[in-house]
Structure 1
Amino acid sequence: MALAQIETDLALKYSFKLYKITYTSITPSGESTILSGAVFVPVTTAALPLFSFQHGTQAKRNEVVSNKFLFLYEGITGGIGASLGYVSCIPDYLGMGDSQLTQAYLDNKTSAATVVDIILATREFCSKNNIILNNKNFIGGYSQGGYVTMAAQKSIEEDYSDKITLTASAPMAGPFDMENMFNGLLASGEYSSPGLPAFLLYAYNTYYKIADLSAIFASPYAAKINGLFNGSKTIGEINPELTTDLKLLFTPSFFTNFLENKNSALWTAVKQNEVLTWTPKSPILLLHSKADGTVPYANSEKAAEYFKSKGFNKVTLMPLDGLDHIQAAVPATLAMFAWFQTY
């Protein structure tokens, strides 16, 4: 199959073994915490590249690869990666899998640490189990995972270049331009998946103490929020419990005191978690559908424009046409692997 300028005929060569690992990372406050993840290891004695894949938004704690392995999209991605010859690791994230904390949804530093730490933990796992790694390291992710991948690349290049040499990165269909996306979302008044902005505000309020939930969410939704985001429900189960009319989901005072006040605690948190704040060093492939109504294509356009404005030209923006956010995930992922194979 050919996708735009990338040929996506992939030769799956290896059987693989699956492992669950736990490792130490950090919370948004910098405290040490234990996270879980999965590692897919090709059955071969050859020296292998390492690949970390970051999954999209999931609110239900046990809906993770370390628990269900190949029964999720990201698990299949890990399996394809291993079959192609990559030692593939997939972090569950803070608040997912074994972690009982609130998920730090779209939190820059925590997202980055999750990836850096699972890469280092996977290296240690390989060393202890006589699995040989070469010096190539790849990262990729879709949706929330695209944002997490971008945050991880920034952290690796700025703070961990002595420990991790990044070969290439594929942040796909992520909310890279947080401020403009948030402005556009709430200005539109309607959103088909209200669980997503609600999840972001719940997470930011948990870790940045923006306001009492009743000052953010209108009745009757304020009373439901803690129960919706306690790790027991998927976004698909949460959406029907809310309203797609954001003017009814959030309080009038929230719009006045927080959205319109660019000095509010909310905007301080949003700006603190922007990822378009550095000049990359490693090649980047941005894959995004122009028909994406969940995370608009403009996010990837802005990322490409920003990086090029900083003099970084090793960024490629590849549009996919006619696919919604969910439909684009598989072809984007196959194109990511085909691109990785060129390195």
Structure 2
Amino acid sequence: MQSNKFLRLFSLVILSVLVFACNNDDDLENEFNFQHVVSYEFLDSISTEDISARFGGNNLVGGFINFDITAHKITYMTENYDGTEVEASGLILIPIVQGSAKLTSFQHSTLAKDANPQIDQENRAPSYLPENNAEIHLSAALFAANGYMISAPDYIGYGSTGDMFHPYEHAQTTATTSYDMLIAAREYAEFLEVKMRADDNGTEELHLLGYSQGGNSTMALHKYIEETQPGEFNIIRSAMGAGAYHKSAVGNYIFNFEGELGFSISLYLWVMDTYDRVYLQRGLDYYLNEPYATEVENGGYFALSNTNPQEIFTTEFIDEINDPNSGFSQALADNNVHDWKANAPIKLYHSRNDGLVPYFNSVDAYENLTANGSEEVLFETYEFGSDVAVEDIHGAGGGRFFSDVLSRYFLSGI
């Protein structure tokens, strides 16, 4: 049976009190003293019928749609890459279960940031509850309807921090932003008296998942929790799809590539710029030849049409890539998340012919995690035939990933 406080929340919703701020309601403050949540807002109530309609009433999907869910936005404090405290935001999806919900951290894939509104994807960040983001509108909602309480951080650079630079795939910032969201989400659930599944010691059980950038973010978060916050959560299973875990190898592959890569280099420019801002502060002129430096400075990462690294990047920078002791090589190494020992089970997923994130990332992660004595590491390779274009394989793999994690790995560990 739902708690009195949770029922009270619904009565407030019915009365159209849709926005809550924990520092603006004296009565609520007197009842609950928030330590991590700065503000909270009810977004929507989503029925099982609505979720089923999103999937066209598919009977195979329907078997996983068991609970109505509610959607909430919260803000919380976390640390940016430069050490400053910022008020970040994220989405919480709560299943209306009779027993306990399964706490789950859901890391989203890449969302473009660009001055051009035709390219910018700010409005797809989780806390907007976006219909134009299939990861949230379909996948996250389906997981929630199956009993998983979703904590989905926007990441710094989106939502409440949308005017800030997004430190793309900076492992430390990604991990702490996602972790602090989890702590705030747990507190918010406590406020609503939503029961979460826990082990015999009372430690909340936790599932982790993400694809592409979300895969990299999930690996960084899993590593961070086990190495710096042991005992805070009991990680049950962690699923990661097509992440760029081995940054040193990716840098060598991309920046030393001879000829046309065959796909946009924009995302790798973003990673490069992130590591420059965090570690080196040299500016784009150090890395890019003209006219490409000016193109990117004036038009952003996605303005660059050339995909030939040997034409785009300066000789000085490429020499750095080939020197393991150089500043940039050290920055890449600092963001490697493929070589450590995991205590909780992990399953990796990757398409062999992925044209955006090289397959070797998951191979390297699997081999190193296993060699280091990790408790359990599984690896599934997706194969696509000639009917799927190389440039479409990364996206196609994402669809299979979310389906497989929900229906097999989180359900039965296979």
TM-score, shorter chain, exceeding 0.5: yes
Give the aligned CA root-mean-square deviation in angstroms.
1.9
Alignment correspondent of 1:142: 211
5+ residue gaps in structure 1? 1-6, 230-237
1:188 aligned to which of 257, 261, 273:
257
- 2:222 maps to 1:169: no
What secondary structure sits across from 1:166 in the alignment? strand
Structure 1 residues 89 and 69, CA, compared in 2 at 3 Å: closer, same or farther? farther
Alignment correspondent of 1:107: 170
Determine the C-alpha separation between the residues in 1 that align with 2:299 and 2:376.
41
CA radius of gyration, larger in: 2
Q: What's the CA shift string for 1:206-251, capped at 9, x where partnerless? A: 221252311111222212434545xxxxxxxx54533111222222
In the TM superposition, residue 335 of structure 1 has moved relative to its aligned partner by 0.7
Determine the C-alpha separation between the residues in 2 that align with 1:239 and 1:226.
11
Alignment correspondent of 1:232: none
Give the letter aligned to residue 16 of structure 1: I
In the TM superposition, residue 153 of structure 1 has moved relative to its aligned partner by 0.5
Determine the C-alpha separation between the residues in 2 that align with 1:171 and 1:72.
19
Q: What's the CA shift string for 1:59-106, capped at 9, x where partnerless? A: 223331212434302212210111111111111111122213211111
In the TM superposition, residue 330 of structure 1 has moved relative to its aligned partner by 0.9
Give the letter aligned to residue 268 of structure 2: P
Determine the C-alpha separation between the residues in 1 that align with 2:270 and 2:371.
32
Structure 1 residues 185 and 241, CA, compared in 2 at 3 Å: closer, same or farther? closer
Determine the C-alpha separation between the residues in 2 that align with 1:283 and 1:160.
17
TM-score normalised to structure 1 length: 0.90
Larger mean CA deviation between 70-79 and 106-115 belongs to 70-79
Q: What's the CA shift string for 1:266-316, capped at 9, x where partnerless? A: 111101111124210000010111121111111111111111111225110
1:26 aligned to which of 56, 79, 84:
79
- 2:127 maps to 1:66: yes
- 2:346 maps to 1:289: no
Query: Greater relative contact order: 1 or 2 (C-alpha under 8 angstroms, separation 6 or more)?
Result: 1
Q: What's the CA shift string for 1:177-215, capped at 9, x where partnerless? A: 111121112222333121011111111112212523111
Determine the C-alpha separation between the residues in 1 that align with 2:295 and 2:78.
30
TM-score normalised to structure 2 length: 0.75
5+ residue gaps in structure 2? 1-59, 114-121, 199-204
Alignment correspondent of 1:244: 307
Alignment correspondent of 2:284: 213
- Residues 256, 310 of structure 2: 8 Å contact kept: no
What secondary structure sits across from 1:247 in the alignment? helix
Task: State the aligned residue count.
Answer: 328
What secondary structure sits across from 1:88 in the alignment? strand
Alignment correspondent of 2:398: 329
In the TM superposition, residue 165 of structure 1 has moved relative to its aligned partner by 1.4
Determine the C-alpha separation between the residues in 2 that align with 1:22 and 1:228.
31
What secondary structure sits across from 2:294 in the alignment? coil
Percent identical among aligned pairs is: 27
Determine the C-alpha separation between the residues in 2 that align with 1:116 and 1:21.
14
Q: What's the CA shift string for 1:6-44, capped at 9, x where partnerless? A: x99952111211111111111123332111111111123
Q: What's the CA shift string for 1:139-188, capped at 9, x where partnerless? A: 01111111110011111111112211111101111011111121112222
Alignment correspondent of 1:46: 99
